[in-house]
Amino acid sequence: MSDSHPAAPAPVSLAEAFRFWLKLGFLSFGGPAGQIALMHQELVERRRWISERRFLHALNFCMVLPGPEAQQLATYIGWLMHRRLGGLLAGGLFVLPSLLILIVLSWIYCAYGQLALVAGVFYGIKPAVTAIVAQAAYRIGSRVLKNAWLWALALAAFVAIFALDLPFPLIVLVAGLIGYAGGRWRPAKFALGGGHAAAGKSYGAALIDDDTPAPAHACLGWSHTARIVLCGVLLWCLPMLALWLTLGWLHTLTQMGWFFSKAALLTFGGAYAVLPYVYQGAVSHYGWLRPTQMIDGLALGETTPGPLIMVVAFVGFVGGYQSPQLAALFGSQHGFLAGALAAVLVSGFTFLPSFVFIFAGAPLIERTHQELRFTAPLTAITAAVVGVILNLAVFFAYHVLWPQGFAAGVLAGLDGRAALIALAAALALFRFKCSVIQVILASALIGCLLGALG
């Protein structure tokens, strides 16, 4: 075998895979694009545990599922290599470090957020987050909005949530129905291909290569799929029923479990797509957080490893920490325990569907070995998501740049220093292509300096 086509690597033990997935959990910065690129570099190019074509085949499947695609991809590859235990380790370790880090940071935020240094950090970060969300809308829009039909869908979604205050699930449902109809009557307008190039590279023989037969655990039938789905339903029902019976349906923890179960099924288009739904519920409906706290949570989520949807852990922690019901349950001196319990609870309900989708659907996908494309309904949903994310950027801009509202006038009420930070962050992202981490760290430093100057 020549050096340009090295032999396949030796089989990987579960212990070795465990060490890799744990390391990945602490290094998975950069959002889904960065996380997927890191997995490709490690698993396809460097370690050659899986071939390019099989990697993209799995990724295309994860892209059409609701939920964090990078975490689902890790679960898929872990399952492919070491059955369900491997999938649980890969998917769980992808989010566990982020959960632990966010619990600690959320506690510091709640307990010491009023200190001048901490307040200065968040003062600088908030305008940067506004620019980051605007860039997300631009990034998704430039990839998806390829014709007037999809532009119209994005505009209609923005009007629906901004002006009419329609709920996010309804917008997703209507967009999906429009996409279904459009796929039948105007297929060329809704038939956008997947966002990933065809597999054309080879880095040498892989442990799971293009022609490697599907493993035995990928050849199970519909009865296996039904058992997985039933198990997932039971894993959801049992804790929800326990919360309902012990605490009542209107208790904070019960409502958090119910709300984030719904949110987990609406994350088409990535975490930025579901954030408007989360702030509608957590801020406007339930009042678990204030608007500025939601922005702070997104900033923390951007600076920690793991999927961005882990911002739900911050929402859960702060909501639990501030909840009078949990204060009565744990005592006013045990805010950390209340917040940590809520963070773990909402994370569990958020990620449970992702494991069910992979364990139930991956055997079918492995048997087909055909590339999946975005369906017309998903194309329409993604177009609508652009409008929804734009609304989120407007929401953040209003609360950050006009902290007192428009009562004093548009110009008089504008926070000039925050506006300059937002403008600088936008230039760094759009013009100079700086990373999100670089922008947030620089903005935090500027906030500290402004706080020191008074």
More confident residue, 205 or 338: 338
The dihedral built from the CA positions of residue 171, 174, 177 and 183, taken in this order, carries a sign that is negative
Q: What is the pLDDT of residues 69-94, one digit of tens each?
A: 889 999 999 999 999 999 999 999 99
What are the φ and ψ backbone dihedral angles of 404, each rounded to 5 degrees?
-100, 10
For the cut 50, the answer to whether the pLDDT of residue 113 exceeds it is: yes
The full DSSP string for 125-176 is: HHHHHHHHHHHHHHHHHHHH--SHHHHHHHHHHHHHHHTS---HHHHHHHHH
Q: Can you give the pTM of this predicted structure?
A: 0.73
**pLDDT score at 198:** 42
For the cut 50, the answer to whether the pLDDT of residue 1 exceeds it is: no
Give me 37's structure tokens.
């690129």
Total residue count of the chain as it appears in this document:
454
Q: What is the 3-state secondary structure (H, E, C) of 372-407?
A: CCCCHHHHHHHHHHHHHHHHHHHHHHHHHHCCCCCC
Q: What burial letters (b/e) apply to 13-37, b meaning 16+ CB within 10 Å?
A: eeeebbebbbebbeebbbbbebbbe
Orientation of helix 31-39 relative to helix 14-27, angle to 10°:
150
**pLDDT score at 194:** 40
Least confident of 177-191, 226-240, 317-331, 398-412: 398-412
For the cut 60, the answer to whether the pLDDT of residue 142 exceeds it is: yes
Q: What is the pLDDT of residues 384-440, one digit of tens each?
A: 878 887 887 887 788 888 887 776 677 778 888 999 999 999 999 899 888 777 888
Cβ contact 43:49 at 8 Å: yes
Question: Which spans in 12-68 are helix H?
Answer: 14-27, 31-39, 52-63
**pLDDT score at 369:** 52
Instruction: Decide: residue 169, CB within 10 A, 0-12 exposed, 13-18 middle, 19+ buried.
Output: middle
Distance of alpha carbon 22 from alpha carbon 27, whole angstroms: 9
Instruction: Decide: residue 441, CB within 10 A, 0-12 exposed, 13-18 middle, 19+ buried.
Output: middle
The full DSSP string for 335-370 is: HHHHHHHHHHHHHHHHHHHHHHHHHHHHHHHHHH--
Distance of alpha carbon 86 from alpha carbon 78, whole angstroms: 5
In percent, the amount of the chain with pLDDT more than 90 equals 36
Q: What is the pLDDT of residues 271-320, one digit of tens each?
A: 666 777 888 899 989 999 988 888 888 878 777 888 878 999 999 999 99
**pLDDT score at 256:** 97
**pLDDT score at 362:** 87
Which residue's entry shows tokens 């293009």? 210
**Domain regions of the chain by residue span:** 14-196+215-453
Q: What is the pLDDT of residues 190-224, one digit of tens each?
A: 765 444 444 445 677 888 888 888 788 877 778 88
Q: What is the pLDDT of residues 34-57, one digit of tens each?
A: 677 778 888 988 899 998 878 877
- pLDDT grade, residue 370 (50/70/90)? very low
**pLDDT score at 135:** 83
- pLDDT grade, residue 269 (50/70/90)? low
